Chains A and B, each alone.
Chain A
Amino acid sequence: MLLHERSTTAGAILGVVAIVFLVGQQLAIMFGLFTLMSAVVDNSGADIWVVSKNVENTASVSSLPSRYVDRLAGMEAIEWAEPVIYSGGQLRLPNGTFQPVQVIGVTRPELHGGPWRFASGGNDVLLEYDGATVDKFDLEDLGSPELGRIVEVNSRRIRIAGYTEGSRAFGAPLLFTNATKAREVTGLPADRCSNILIRLKPGANVRQALVDIEVLLPKASALTSQELARNTIIYNLTSTGIGSSFGLSTLVGILVGVVIITLTMYTNVLNRQRDFAVLRALGARRRDVFAIIVYQALTIGLIGLLIGFFLLAGFLFGVKGSRLPANLPLWLPPAHALLTFLLCFAGSALALRRALKIEPASAFR
């Protein structure tokens, strides 16, 4: 049984819906961006990335001697080691302007570190001398090049031979090609590469391998893929302002919801002071009043949560397959629900304080 008024209860539910939806969609986009930031590393298939000394993320320029690859390949724990070219480029659009791209060159024939999902064609297009792939979500930005179209990147000809689907990263569009063409496009000499990808043999000790690599290559750093991905996300969050921007909007979403819940629940108690006093006179203890308010907060939280998650699911469904990155890790909805319930209780605190102060004698005034 709830001591409620429809309008104030609806207002409190609206507050919860605001928290669930606004915060949920902000977090979904933020985690979607996280996925993009670390996509190249996460989908590389490598256990370890070897980068220039003191380079901590994929956004920083790394340059290594190609001979390191042979040294690494000779190590007992390593299954394969392959160089990858990672550099910026300018793609000339049909209208004469330029679009920045991230050129990734992978080594034939294995093509480790290449695109991970295709809309048309497959990895084999990168085996061709001038073959390259771009993502279908980036086509508009790249002047909508059809398959087979020759485009210019850094004034070098390159052929769009395949489309990927979701093989995207944070920042400029990705353009995958083979290492030979990438060197030609980026001007990187044959004896240099950007990074070296390493897959360890099954059962190999990763920590020991990292130590061994840094002993073998004192002028390079070795990071696990997880470390590099995490570093890249942190770098992008701190250097681009995305972290503070999303953090602020998430905080605003929470504050708006808490203010709505607090005001509506407090107003509800104010309007129902006599009812609470009557209940107290009839025999309700303070703890019974506490239970009524908590029950009310739980009910409002649950209804708001269901509506909010329904809207959130609609949002995620709507942006699926679009350019807008959105991703909710499995642990997030339960954590979000828990946070929402905590905020409902926090929002009820003022109302609770007021309700517990109501004296039963006031029912007779």
Chain B
Amino acid sequence: MYAPVLQLDGVVRDFSDGRVVRRVLKETNLDILPGELTALAGPSGSGKTTLLTIMGLVLRPSAGRIVVAGRDAAGLSEDELATLRMEKYGFVFQQAALVPALSALDNVLVATAIQGARIKPETRKRALEVLDKLGMKEYADARPQQLSGGQQQRVGIARALVGDPVLLLCDEPTSALDVESSHLVLDTLKRLSRDPRRAVVLVTHDPRVFPYADRLIKMEDGAIVYDTRTASAGGI
């Protein structure tokens, strides 16, 4: 049994409009283990994106504790959280969210230079290797608008992987893709989750994802209502 990559202990999140406080994430305890692809499913407004952003340290919980790769995130400053995100996390967004002005390779490299670091030749080499593993090396110089949705998403995955993260968080990465591209992206994520140092968490309401998941978590009304490990959970 590997140690959890991410631990959430008693995490809650409230939102307030100044008059009414609304709890959008009820008390949540969760361990994310490496070597697994976890699918986080649920209807719109169930709190899955809130949970994902709290897991990704981009949203602070109202209460509770988050431990990332053995490091307690409580009390970290905004800059320290940003650095922790850069070092430990990879993010894959809906519709890839690539910078249109940059080539595919530069979009991958931007994740390594984001805090002003110089791009070293070995970083560039690694970025090309990652693109190669995802079948995108020949498109390294292409701009996002020259790529299909599936290709853009694979560049997005390459950007998430270039820093060799322990936790890959994906926000509905197949929502804008056709069937073929979806399976290509999911195959890639499944393969990446096989790395015993890394966990992949995927927020989705796309049922095509479920057969790929090692663990399925279902959320409703801000709470986890279902959490199971299964090789095939299409019936969730």
Contacts and interface: CB of A to CB of B under 8 A. Distances in A.
Interface of A: 1-5, 274-275, 278-288, 291, 359-361, 363-365
Contact of A1 (B89, B93, B113): B113
Interface in B76-93: 78-79, 82-83, 85-87, 89, 91, 93
Chain B residues touching A, range: 20 to 34
Given A363-B58, A364-B52, A364-B53, A284 B82 contact: yes
Interface in B196-226: none
B140 to A, nearest CB: 15
29 contacts: A1-B99, A1-B102, A1-B106, A2-B101, A4-B101, A5-B101, A275-B99, A279-B110, A279-B114, A281-B56, A281-B58, A281-B85, A282-B86, A282-B110, A282-B114, A282-B159, A283-B85, A283-B111, A283-B114, A283-B115, A285-B78, A285-B83, A288-B114, A291-B116, A361-B58, A363-B97, A364-B52, A364-B53, A364-B58
3 nearest CB pairs, A to B: A283-B86, A360-B58, A361-B59
B93 A278 contact: yes
Nearest to B119: A1
Contacts of B159: 282
B97 A278 contact: yes
Contacts of B89: 283
Interface of B: 49, 52-53, 56, 58-59, 78-79, 82-83, 85-87, 89, 91, 93, 97, 99-102, 106, 110-111, 113-116, 159, 171
B79 A3 contact: no
Contacts of B97: 274-275, 278, 363
A106 to B, nearest CB: 67
A284 B115 contact: yes
Contact of B49 (A278, A280, A287, A364): A364
Contacts of B114: 279, 282-284, 288
B82 A280 contact: yes
Contacts of A363: 58, 91, 93, 97
B42 to A, nearest CB: 15
Contacts of B101: 1-5
B91 A1 contact: no
Contacts of B93: 278, 281, 363-364
Nearest to B49: A364
B115 A288 contact: yes
Given A278-B97, A283-B86, A361 B110 contact: no
Contact of B91 (A274, A282, A286, A365): A282
A274 B111 CA distance: 15
B79 A361 contact: no
Of B59, B86, B89, B97, most buried by chain A (CB within 10 Å of CB) is B97
Nearest to B94: A364
A272 to B, nearest CB: 8
Contacts of A285: 78-79, 82-83, 115
Nearest to B99: A275
Given A3-B101, A274-B97, A361-B58, A283 B106 contact: no
A293 B100 CA distance: 17
Contacts of A365: 49
Nearest to A359: B58
A109 B101 CA distance: 74
Contacts of A281: 56, 58, 85, 91, 93
A359 to B, nearest CB: 8
B86 to A, nearest CB: 3
Nearest to B56: A281
B157 to A, nearest CB: 13
Contacts of A2: 101
Nearest to A4: B101
B133 to A, nearest CB: 20
Contacts of A275: 97, 99
Nearest to B54: A361
A257 to B, nearest CB: 24
A4 B102 CA distance: 10
Contacts of B85: 281-283
A363 B114 CA distance: 16
Nearest to B113: A1
Of A1, A286, A365, most buried by chain B (CB within 10 Å of CB) is A1
Contacts of A278: 91, 93, 97, 99
Nearest to B109: A1
